[in-house]
Structure 1
Amino acid sequence: MTKRNVIVLGAGLAGLGFARHYPGCRVFEADDTPGGHARSHSFAGVWFDRGAHICHSSDPEWLALLHAAAPLHVMTKSTVLNHKQGKWFAYPVQNHLFDLPPPEREAALRDFLAAQEKYRGREPANYEEWCRFQYGDYLLENFYRLYTAKYWHVPMAELATDWLGGRLLPSQVENIIAGANGPVAEQQAVFRTFRYPQSGGFFAMLARLADGVDVRLQKRAVKVAAREGRVSFADGTAESFDWLVATIPLPELVAMMPEAPSAVREAAAKLRALRQYCVNLVVNRPALSPAQWFYIYDPDVAVSRVSFPFALSGQASNQTAIQAEIFLPQNARPNEAQLRDQAIADLGRILRFAPDEVTAAEIRCYPLSYVVSDLARAPAVRLMRDWLRTQRIVTAGLFGEWHYVWSDRAYASGRNLAQTLLAAP
């Protein structure tokens, strides 16, 4: 298929991964820079990402690309914490039960051991059952249900388990018992070791992915006429194609296609994603936390995850840069100033800094961030992608596959698709 006219919608990691492995294709990006969800920006002299991003990949090609692009800070032992009701404990909670007060520790261990007997050999039907079978009722009700409600905004029983790989690890009885009997070093978390650029934010190690790629910026697609093999753009131009590679959100793609049948449109309407707000601030005090990032379980605190850019990059500073992430349903429209101010107040209480120590603060909204892997997702996506392929349209990446993937996997999905198309007759 090397002589076919192939165009790509979206210059995120999947689109760039495809283009780097499919000679002669053209990439059309709606924004003024490539990078998609992996982009970074500078504020108050600090580089902030679109939410916490790190590289903990073992993909040799991916790591070679990153190391060639920028000097990296390599962390061989990360510090990740949890916070709940004024108390700190190590991540993941099930491996560090000794950090909990004795009554909670005993209840958590008792329920965990009971679950190992009660649910042995049973296959969970959803995320709620997965947590119950793995960790027991106490950890489910007092930790995982709380965090799921504020992060995903979907009942646990409606979530699938196909997004868990590498994020929540199956319980290891020996580790959990050891962590209940005393402090232990974390050995299981997949991001115990990671890489991050020494400067320039996460995208600094990805920016060169666009080198040598024919990327056309500020080209927002508005209509896809599959029968004619034609994409129209907001600037009035159009491009023809033999095959179209789409890494843009599946619901947006279907909405551009007048010929999409009702079943495909209904499937697109079932897909859910989160609206993300990042509160970025600088506090005029050094090292407010020993962690690179931490999670907040308290239901009355909107912030779910907090990261420290200087700790990720290894940069020395007499200030602390903080990013607080808030996730809401996609249709939420909060007062952003109030959301920012409340987040800063909550962080001040948790990290013990005063309002007048904040030297700069902003809030940024990303209307489409993480996709929700609920039970309706997989069959809906399968139906949509099967129909799209009959229209000579194939999809890749976080939004093209509508699947919660890390950066290296997003890039690899584009790369693998290119190899598949090149091998096709």
Structure 2
Amino acid sequence: MPETIIIGAGIAGLAAAYQAKLQSRSAEIYESRDRAGGLLDNILIDGFCFDTAVHLSFASEFAVREVFDRTPHITHIPVSLNWDNGYWLKHPAQTNMHPLPAEEKVNLIKGLINAESGNICNYQDWLVQQYGYEIAERWPLKYTRKYWTIEAARLGTAWVGQRMRKADISEVLMGAFDSKTPNQYYVKEMRYPERGGYKAFIQHLIDEANIHYNLKAICVNFAEKKVTFSGGLEVAYERLISTMPLPELISIAKDVPDDIKQKADSLYATEIDLISVGFRIPNVSPALWFYIYDEDILASRAYSPNRKSPANVPEGCSALQFEIYWSREKPRNLSIEEIKQNTLQAIIKMGLAHSEDIMFMHHTYVPYANVVFDLGMEERRDVVRSWVERQGVSLAGRFGEWEYLWSNQSMMSGLNAYIRAWSA
């Protein structure tokens, strides 16, 4: 019997196995796919290397840096752009309005000055009180519909943290008058592997782990401490760490109370169609990554693999990857070819390239992207998590904990889940 079973070979599961090794214990990972890495896996196409959506590391935790820094990396200043109906604006848009016509800037700034304060009941309240309605509707409210797939009024605010820069009238005015504004991103630098894509940061963990591939968990019996996998394999365990999506874990567990099932069923996440594009010309993208506000463009965000590292593309080429988000609240109603065609039109509209410059457009579907923090989600989720943990299971990772975790936080989640599992 393995001392510890870990479901899922994403960064959290790999980190849990790494912690077991540090403590001279055994751990076995069971992965449903034929590859490890989860959301940090890469996509290889004809000499091009794409990540699974945009990834850049700004980890500060010693335990994470001790692993990531084994990999030779490039350091980037995190400067990104916004595309807004014919204008390229530095990010964040509200403090970089210089390219906009004077009349538009005046209207947006007046909205900020006249923004009223009051009770904040949802994310829309937060945005409107922070930026004024005009700025909020011009950028973050519109982006929310594309990225989160629901209206901001249906989202809570606990997830925001430092992800959104708060409005400061002095910064807004300076950015309206002058294009030479300081970088206002919430970190000063980001790191990316020289070769091998973002996955290279965790390749050491993959190489050192005991991973069983193509085995999907289909039943968990907490009382008997057994997990059944596809193909009928049944494995008993002393300790169990799950990084699989929390609602899925509940759906395959035996003897779950009805109220726990109902709360788990209410949890949902976005999913992504990734369109990875290879170009036969260099330097297509104007930035490491950029946000897209045009409502006729499906993608909400795109990033440049070759700006992350020149090794991600063949010599003389460049690449972009576009992210299109859906959810059960906004199901996809288009074919892959229609999504590709929309992406092509976006490339041309933004003046990035011509159709003859494109070598390929590749589609990847990712079933879990971001946990949706709809109103009251945290309370429902916490009830489910508490019940699972009372069954002697440690939860880890973005979808295991059902939390908004970056890659460094997901790694720490896995390390801590293992420690919790053996301290119980």
Q: With structure 1 as the length reference, what TM-score do the two structures score?
A: 0.93
User: Aligned equivalents of 2:120 and 2:408: distance in 1?
Assistant: 28
Deviations 1:179-219 (A, max 9, x none): 23312333321255211112211101211122432222222
Tell me, yes or no, if the aligned pair for 2:394 and 2:420 is still in contact at 8 Å: no
Tell me, yes or no, if the aligned pair for 1:96 and 1:179 is still in contact at 8 Å: yes
User: Aligned equivalents of 1:56 and 1:19: distance in 2?
Assistant: 23
**Residues 362, 409 of structure 1: alpha-carbon distance in 2 compared, 3 angstrom cutoff:** same
Which residue in the other structure is 1:372 paired with?
372
Tell me, yes or no, if the aligned pair for 2:2 and 2:28 is still in contact at 8 Å: no
User: Aligned equivalents of 1:401 and 1:100: distance in 2?
Assistant: 42
Residue type of the alignment partner of 1:148: T
| Pairwise CA distance, 1:78 | 3.2
Q: Secondary structure at the match of 1:351?
A: coil
Which residue in the other structure is 2:120 paired with?
124
Deviates more, 1:209-218 or 1:264-273: 209-218
User: Aligned equivalents of 1:393 and 1:61: distance in 2?
Assistant: 23
Deviations 1:102-151 (A, max 9, x none): 12211222222232xx32xx552211111112111111111111111111
From 147, 165, 174, the counterpart of 1:151: 147
Q: Secondary structure at the match of 2:350?
A: helix
Which residue in the other structure is 2:186 paired with?
190
User: Aligned equivalents of 1:394 and 1:173: distance in 2?
Assistant: 45
Q: Secondary structure at the match of 1:65?
A: helix
User: Aligned equivalents of 2:306 and 2:45: distance in 1?
Assistant: 13
Which residue in the other structure is 1:74 paired with?
75
User: Aligned equivalents of 2:59 and 2:99: distance in 1?
Assistant: 29
Within-5 A mapping of 1:350-369: 350-369=350-369
**Residues 307, 4 of structure 1: alpha-carbon distance in 2 compared, 3 angstrom cutoff:** closer
Within-5 A mapping of 1:134-283: 134-283=130-279
Which residue in the other structure is 2:409 paired with?
409
Tell me, yes or no, if the aligned pair for 2:2 and 2:236 is still in contact at 8 Å: no
User: Aligned equivalents of 1:123 and 1:56: distance in 2?
Assistant: 34
Which residue in the other structure is 1:318 paired with?
316
Which residue in the other structure is 1:381 paired with?
381
User: Aligned equivalents of 2:379 and 2:296: distance in 1?
Assistant: 35
From 326, 344, 347, the counterpart of 1:328: 326
| Pairwise CA distance, 1:314 | 4.1
Tell me, yes or no, if the aligned pair for 2:79 and 2:183 is still in contact at 8 Å: no
| Pairwise CA distance, 1:352 | 4.1
User: Aligned equivalents of 1:394 and 1:333: distance in 2?
Assistant: 37
User: Aligned equivalents of 1:409 and 1:52: distance in 2?
Assistant: 16
Tell me, yes or no, if the aligned pair for 1:385 and 1:394 is still in contact at 8 Å: no
**Residues 191, 318 of structure 1: alpha-carbon distance in 2 compared, 3 angstrom cutoff:** farther
Tell me, yes or no, if the aligned pair for 1:306 and 1:323 is still in contact at 8 Å: yes
From 13, 16, 35, the counterpart of 1:15: 13
Deviates more, 1:256-265 or 1:192-201: 192-201
Q: Which runs of 5+ in 1 are unaligned?
A: none
Identity over aligned pairs, percent: 27
Tell me, yes or no, if the aligned pair for 2:73 and 2:193 is still in contact at 8 Å: yes
Q: Secondary structure at the match of 1:298?
A: coil
| Pairwise CA distance, 1:387 | 0.9
Tell me, yes or no, if the aligned pair for 2:276 and 2:322 is still in contact at 8 Å: yes
Residue type of the alignment partner of 1:73: I
Tell me, yes or no, if the aligned pair for 1:242 and 1:392 is still in contact at 8 Å: no
Q: With structure 2 as the length reference, what TM-score do the two structures score?
A: 0.93
Q: Secondary structure at the match of 1:98?
A: coil
Tell me, yes or no, if the aligned pair for 2:222 and 2:254 is still in contact at 8 Å: no
| Pairwise CA distance, 1:372 | 0.9
| Pairwise CA distance, 1:71 | 1.8
From 11, 28, 31, the counterpart of 1:26: 28
Within-5 A mapping of 1:334-353: 334-353=334-353
Q: Secondary structure at the match of 2:344?
A: helix
